[in-house]
Amino acid sequence: MKKALVFGGNSYEHEISIVSAIALKKVIKKELIFIFLDESGEFWLIDDANMKSTYFAKREYRKAKKLFLLKGGFHKKTLFGFESIGKVCVINLVHGGDGEDGRLASMFDFYGVSFVGPRTEVSVLSFNKLYTKALADMCGVKALAYSFVTKKARKLAKPDAYPVIVKPCRLGSSIGVSVVKSEKELDYALDVAFEFDDAVLIEPFVENVREFNVAGARVGSEIVYSNIEEPKKEGYLDFEKKYLDFSRTQEVAAAGVEEQLAAKLKESFAKIYSFGFDGAIIRCDFFVVDNEVYLNEVNPIPGSLANYLFGDFNALLEGVSHSLPTPRRIKVDYKYINEIKSAKGKL
Amino acid sequence: MKKALVFGGNSYEHEISIVSAIALKKVIKKELIFIFLDESGEFWLIDDANMKSTYFAKREYRKAKKLFLLKGGFHKKTLFGFESIGKVCVINLVHGGDGEDGRLASMFDFYGVSFVGPRTEVSVLSFNKLYTKALADMCGVKALAYSFVTKKARKLAKPDAYPVIVKPCRLGSSIGVSVVKSEKELDYALDVAFEFDDAVLIEPFVENVREFNVAGARVGSEIVYSNIEEPKKEGYLDFEKKYLDFSRTQEVAAAGVEEQLAAKLKESFAKIYSFGFDGAIIRCDFFVVDNEVYLNEVNPIPGSLANYLFGDFNALLEGVSHSLPTPRRIKVDYKYINEIKSAKGKL
């Protein structure tokens, strides 16, 4: 089955999704179909030759062929109706809204499209940082303490101690995130965060915390782990820096993590992954404090699928695409209606 | 805007959704459009006159007009393409899978269809009974203690004490639920539950617990509460009994609950509803133990929308349909691509 990269979306991360797709085009060795989702919710079939960021920025994609998502997959419009572009295995590369909030996953499952990416349930749990705390808890993995405040109740935001980190609940890629060193900086940070979401998470900001990224996916019955990366931080990674991060294609050397810690990180990754991420290549970002592993966040669609962390990304992707969960389909037999009808006459 | 009742779905509750729709047809005074979602994922426009359960059980709906969900709403196929059936406000009445698991909500939000019903996030949280525990916790409402076991790890199911109640995590309407009085009954109850889901919740079964149902919805800035019902139980409500329950259209008298308890129940309802159920008419089922309120479950699309609990259901529905949340839409300006391009030449 051919693979189709779906990217774009109505999201603050729309542009980095384009960058991410261009990066993956360089990495993936097999033939790919490119499907762009514009901000208005329309799908476009993009020629290989047009996979350049300016093509999208100049909105030249509007000259491309429009696609429609219908039962069985993507379709082109023909003179008298619709024609399937053929069975494809979608790779969901829509970072942020549409892609990571469960919308596309819901649609793909509904229409019977096979796809690499997080399913609806775990998308919802990992898209909202508040729910990620619950996810960690359900998986038996530690997470940092937090408080949570909504726009309506913002005056209740009263951290016990500073510095804290203020994050909109529903955004990735550090958008709207601030480190707050003292009470007088809090108001501005909340203003910024509430620009992007009505709900905000406040966590203690642990200075010089060690951070580790582990990516992986289930292939058959085994979880394939990536190299463990200890990302270099200059202060706090901001959006522009992360943006460039999404275009990475070069393999990263393993972090040289002590064996025992590496085992702990992998064990935590496995607990989270096994909770329902089958079919997706995800990256978990962990903090390590006093030798204890804490989940910071789950990236269920990491930038360029974290290809740079894997020794053989192409083999991984192929493996995952053959290890996709199948949604439960139910056979309706109208047993109850028939029984009640025969017991009571017409209903 | 006309209202369209969407019902059916690929779900164990497919048939009760039909019953539920027929019940609502009797209750709703305004003109309604009926859209049936069959088990295979196709939508059908159903004539008023055909809204009888046998019409569906005999699969006569296949002679009806097929509908397609595209940008802006439902469309009919015409000779040369597709034609909108006009702007409608959907009432999501698909109980169980497709309707309550966030799939249809995702699709309606994606395609810009306004709808009465739970949004994706809270659908996911209330569809899975394990997540409902986390939901209660995040809302500051108590829930009964529980243990959780997956099919793979079923030998870990070892309740401390009996009786317990064994429930598949993802089903409503009591399907696959058993009360287990002793260890020797556990295995069979797990077999039954695992028929329907790979994950199972085990809770203590509190004998003679008082149970109360409260329904409601936000209209404008106020929550409208239903009468509080104390459902009569004969042992444990089974599927057949619940099935008939979905066809209720007659107003229920208030339970005559003590004022203080009623206030507590409403306060708990408000905490849960305010977490993200705007746009939906939901029913929360609570237990009361030692005068403390515990959330049992959230029905984000209760049978026939719990119309029988409200004094003026038509006014409520009208009010809710004018109080729908609007999904956040993002304006993409290609600022980053343009900046990087001008800084670095072509990307």
Please state the rounded mean pLDDT for residues B155-183: 87
Residues in chain A closer than 8 A to B39 (CB atoms): 329-332
Which among B111, B126, B330 is the top mutation candidate for probing chain A, defined by the most A β-carbons within 10 Å of its own β-carbon?
A: B330
**Greater pLDDT, B341 or B339:** B339
A307 vs A56: CA distance, rounded Å: 23
Those of residues 134-153 in A touching chain B at CB distance below 8 A are 134, 137-138, 148
In the predicted structure, residue A344 carries a pLDDT above the cut 80: no
Q: Please, are residues B52 and B23 in contact by the beta-carbon 8 Å criterion?
A: no
Residues in chain B closer than 8 A to A121 (CB atoms): 101-102, 124, 128, 131
Q: What is the pLDDT of residues A122-149, one digit of tens each?
A: 999 999 999 999 999 989 999 999 988 9
Q: What is the pLDDT of residues B259-283, one digit of tens each?
A: 999 999 999 999 999 999 999 999 9
Q: Please, are residues A134 and A148 in contact by the beta-carbon 8 Å criterion?
A: no
How many CB atoms are located within 10 Å of the residue B236 CB? 12
End-to-end CA distance of chain A: 47
Q: B57–A338: do the CB atoms touch at under 8 Å?
A: yes
Q: B52–A346: do the CB atoms touch at under 8 Å?
A: yes
Q: A39–B331: do the CB atoms touch at under 8 Å?
A: yes
Instruction: Assess A344–B contact: CB distance below 8 Å, yes or no.
Output: no
A125 vs A101: CA distance, rounded Å: 9
Which among B59, B60, B103 is the top mutation candidate for probing chain A, defined by the most A β-carbons within 10 Å of its own β-carbon?
A: B103
**Greater pLDDT, B337 or A65:** A65
CA distance to A164, A321, B124, B226, B293, per residue, from A106 (Å): 35, 18, 11, 32, 34
Min CA distance, B270 vs chain A (Å)? Answer: 15
Min CA distance, B257 vs chain A (Å)? Answer: 31
3-class secondary structure, A200: strand
Residues in chain B closer than 8 A to A10 (CB atoms): 329-330, 332
pLDDT level of residue B336 (50, 70, 90 thresholds)? confident
Please state the rounded mean pLDDT for residues B105-117: 97
Q: What is the pLDDT of residues A303-321, one digit of tens each?
A: 999 999 999 999 999 999 9
The whole-model pTM stands at 0.93
**Residues constituting chain A:** 347
Amino acid (one-letter) located at A212: F
Residues in chain B closer than 8 A to A337 (CB atoms): 15, 18-19, 53-54, 56-57
A34: left (phi over 0), alpha (psi -120 to 50) or beta: beta
pLDDT value at position B241?
62
Tally the C-alpha atoms within 13 A of residue B9's C-alpha that lie toward its C-beta: 28
| ipTM reported for the complex, 2 dp | 0.92
Please state the rounded mean pLDDT for residues A103-111: 97
Question: What is the per-residue burial (b if ≥16 Cβ within 10 Å, else e) of B139-159?
Answer: bebebbebebbbeeebeebeb
Q: What is the pLDDT of residues B198-208, one digit of tens each?
A: 899 999 998 88
In the predicted structure, residue B321 carries a pLDDT above the cut 80: yes
Q: Residue B243: what are its φ and ψ, rounded to 5°? A: -55, -50
pLDDT value at position B239?
56
Residue among B15, B35, B172, B14 nearest B113 (CA):
B35
Q: What is the pLDDT of residues B229-252, one digit of tens each?
A: 998 765 445 556 666 667 777 777
Find the helix or strand (DSSP H, E) in which A340 lies.
helix A335-344
Structural domains of chain A, ranges and CATH numbers in brackets: 2-116 (3.40.50.20), 124-143+207-321 (3.30.470.20), 147-204 (3.30.1490.20)
pLDDT value at position B312?
96
Which residues, including other chains, have CB under 8 Å from residue A214's CB and lie 6 or more apart?
A: A225, A226, A228, A229, A265, A266, A269, A283, A284, A286
pLDDT value at position B153?
85
Amino acid (one-letter) located at A135: L
Q: What is the pLDDT of residues A182-203, one digit of tens each?
A: 999 999 999 999 998 889 999 9
Rg of chain A over CA atoms, in angstroms?
Answer: 22
Rg of chain B over CA atoms, in angstroms?
Answer: 22
Q: Please, are residues B38 and B15 in contact by the beta-carbon 8 Å criterion?
A: no
In the predicted structure, residue B347 carries a pLDDT above the cut 50: no
Instruction: Assess B52–A contact: CB distance below 8 Å, yes or no.
Output: yes
Please state the rounded mean pLDDT for residues A238-255: 66
Residues in chain A closer than 8 A to B97 (CB atoms): 328, 330
Q: B124–A120: do the CB atoms touch at under 8 Å?
A: yes
Instruction: Count interface pairs A-B at CB distance under 8 A.
Output: 172
Residues in chain B closer than 8 A to A12 (CB atoms): 330
How many CB atoms are located within 10 Å of the residue A329 CB? 11
In the predicted structure, residue B51 carries a pLDDT above the cut 60: yes
Instruction: Assess B80–A contact: CB distance below 8 Å, yes or no.
Output: yes
Alpha helices in A28-102 (DSSP H): 53-57
In the predicted structure, residue A238 carries a pLDDT above the cut 60: no
Instruction: Assess B245–A contact: CB distance below 8 Å, yes or no.
Output: no
Please give the residue of chain A at the shortest CA–CA distance from B334: A57
**Residue A202's beta-bridge partner residues?**
A147, A166
Please state the rounded mean pLDDT for residues B74-88: 91
**Site of tokens 């209660």:** B136
In the predicted structure, residue A173 carries a pLDDT above the cut 70: no
In the predicted structure, residue B254 carries a pLDDT above the cut 80: no
Please give the residue of chain B at the shortest CA–CA distance from A332: B39
User: What integer best gives the mean pLDDT of chain B?
Assistant: 91
Weakest mean pLDDT among A148-152, B89-93, B278-282: A148-152
Those of residues 262-281 in B touching chain A at CB distance below 8 A are none
Please give the residue of chain A at the shortest CA–CA distance from B333: A57
Q: Please, are residues A168 and A176 in contact by the beta-carbon 8 Å criterion?
A: yes
3-class secondary structure, A125: helix
Please state the rounded mean pLDDT for residues B61-81: 93
CA B195 centroid distance within chain: 21
Q: B53–A330: do the CB atoms touch at under 8 Å?
A: no
